[in-house]
Amino acid sequence: MPDRGLSLHDVKAIELLALCESVTADGILSDDEVRQVLRWISDNQKVDLPEIQGLVQLGRKIVADRKVSSDERNQLLRALHSIVNDAVETRASANVSGAPQYVEDES
């Protein structure tokens, strides 16, 4: 894979966002999707991203009794939606503040 100047932090943030977007697309977390998210959280728990640290705490709570209650599933879904929404808001504000300004030629 060619180096595009992305740090591990950037790569993990992109991975997390892609995961969140894919598993929340239909608004329902299946058992397989919960396992997929929990596995990703476990594999990446040492990455220094606030979003991951919040998910690590929630993941530990979910796996503590080895069952996923409907309340825990809903908490996880809300947390994943929140990550997606925050990313959308960040992109939108970056596009507004960093968008090139075009001026019509009045000649």
50-98 pLDDT, tens per residue?
888 889 999 999 999 888 999 999 999 999 999 998 887 776 776 555 5
Q: Is the pLDDT of residue 102 over 50?
A: no
Express each pLDDT in 20-31 by its tens digit: 999 999 999 999
Where does the pLDDT of residue 99 fall: very low under 50, low under 70, confident under 90, or very high at 90 and above?
low
- Rounded CA-CA distance 95/90 in Å is 9
Angle value at C-alpha 17, between 13 and 18, nearest 5 degrees: 115
Q: Do residues 84 and 91 make contact, with C-beta atoms less than 8 angstroms apart?
A: no
Token digits of residue 81: 């939606």
Look at the pTM and tell me if it is higher than 0.85: no
- Using CB atoms within 10 Å of the CB of residue 65, give its burial: 0 to 12 exposed, 13 to 18 middle, 19+ buried: exposed
CB 56 within 8 A of CB 41: yes
